[in-house]
Amino acid sequence: MSCLTRKLQQKLTRYVQKNSPRFSSNDPECIREELVNKGVCPSDVTTDQLRVILKEAKNS
C-alpha cells in the first residue's frame, strides 16, 4: 500500500469536490484511473484509498 500523505489526501479531496460532475463514472476504480491519466493522482494510490477520499469529498 502506498503512503498517502495528509496533504495529498486533502488536495485530492478538494479536486474531487470541484470536479465530481466531470467524472464519467461513480466507480472508484474508474475515477482513480481518470485521475492517474490526468496526472492528478499518483498511480500507486489504491482504489481503497481513493474510496476514502471520495467519502470525505461527499461529506464535506
What are the tens digits of pLDDT across the range 10-58?
A: 999 999 999 988 988 889 999 999 999 999 999 999 999 999 999 999 8
Q: Does 31 or 3 have the greater pLDDT score?
A: 31
pLDDT of residue 60: 79
- List, in order, residues 6 or more apart from 1 with CB less than 8 Å away: 46, 49
Cα 1 from chain centroid (whole Å)? 15
Q: CA–CA separation, 41 vs 14, rounded Å?
A: 12
C-alpha count within 13 angstroms, C-beta hemisphere, residue 56 = 15
For residue 2 the three cell numbers come to 502506498
The CA-atom distances, in angstroms, between 43 and each of 29, 57, 58, 59, 60 are 12, 20, 22, 25, 25
